[in-house]
Amino acid sequence: MTYFVLKRLRHGLLSLFGIVILVFLLARATGSPARLYLPEDAGPEAIAAFNAEHGLDQPLYIQLFDYLKGLVRLDLGESMAYGEPALATVLSRYPATLQLSLVTIVIAAVLGIFVGAASAARRRSVFDGGSRVMSLAALSVPDFWIGITGIAVFSVWLGLLPTSGNAGWQYWILPVMTLAMRPAGILTQVTRSSMLGALDSDYVKVARGKGVRPAGIVYKHALRNAAIPIITVAGLSLAQVVNGALVVETVFGWPGVGTLMVTSIYARDFAVIQAVVLVTGAAIIALNFLIDVAYSWVNPQIRFGD
């Protein structure tokens, strides 16, 4: 078990290091941000002074070395646009993103598990066929298209919901609906598949012979024994929801990390771009690590077979 944990931890740290290097190089490939922050008539001297002030006049390998030294001290640099530490800027936006992600995954999990279990209990029925088609459609449609369509229908045509912001419960409906479609579709498929095997097992046949009600068989006996893959996929879906939130926030003007990321890209705010990717990447890698460890603890074949 210790070897398995250390191996997963090593893979996670190497992945995070690779992400840091890649984002650092890609950010600087866009060129110096001096023209964005200086007046249009700024001369070469002003541009050179700006680059020197922000360390952009050094060779790329020296910039990278200085960044990695600061990273060890959790110093991710200062935001050019906001004039404050980049890490503090990113962390101040994360509560809005995490709230949106957690509400979304709870709704998606409840909906996906309920529909998937009901579909397995009514296999080959109209409900089963309809739920399978709808879940596959939810998996196939991009989040941004769902969001734009939702704005067009519910905000522009019907005038029922606001298009952007976070000033009340009605502002949550479209972003949550957009983000929940994909994980709900995945959980519906996984729950149905896992439940079909559980419903055909011997202990379910015994429960039926004892006269246990169908609802008790489905949601008490079968669902409990089919829970391991469902829980695993639900945890992985949370990581996907956090990733999807970065796009959906831009569509709906949600005041979270996604909106901050897009704004920082336009502003060439290197420190904030790197901080967003680093914090998000670290959170997702940590979540995947915990899921792997929990799953290997429940199912020892995973750690011994790896």
Task: Tell me the pLDDT tens digit for each residue of 289-302.
Answer: 777 666 666 555 55
The confidence score (pLDDT) of residue 301 equals: 52
> Would you say residue 305 has pLDDT above 60?
no
The answer to whether residue 73 sits within a structural domain is no
Looking at residues 134-158, what average pLDDT do you find? 87
Mean pLDDT value of segment 37-56: 79
Going by C-alpha positions, the residue among 98, 101, 138, 100 that lies closest to residue 116 is 138
The CA distance from 248 to 91, in Å, is 19
Question: Which of 93, 91, 92, 100 lies closest to 242, judged by CA?
Answer: 100
d(CA 278, CA 274): 6
Q: Is residue 245 assigned to a domain? A: yes
85: tokens are: 């530490």
Q: How far is CA 219 from CA 113, 114, 174, in A?
A: 10, 9, 30
pLDDT of residue 244: 79
Cα separation, 269 vs 78, in Å, equals 9
Predicted pLDDT at 107: 92
Q: Is 95 inside any structural domain?
A: yes
55 belongs to a structural domain: no
- 21 occurs within a structural domain: no
85: which strand partners?
78
Mean pLDDT, to the nearest integer, of 39-52? 79
- Which of 77-81, 110-114, 166-170, 200-204 has the weakest average pLDDT? 200-204
Higher pLDDT, 236 or 67: 67
How many domains does the structure of the chain reveal?
1
Whether 43 maps to a domain, the answer reads: no
Both tokens assigned to 79: 């935001």
Is 67 part of a structural domain of the chain? no
Q: Give the range of the structural domain holding residue 297, as residue numbers without chain letter.
A: 86-305
- Evaluate if residue 53 carries a pLDDT over 50: yes
Instruction: CATH number of the domain at 251, please.
Output: 1.10.3720.10
pLDDT at residue 304 is higher than 50: no
- Give domain status of residue 47, yes or no: no
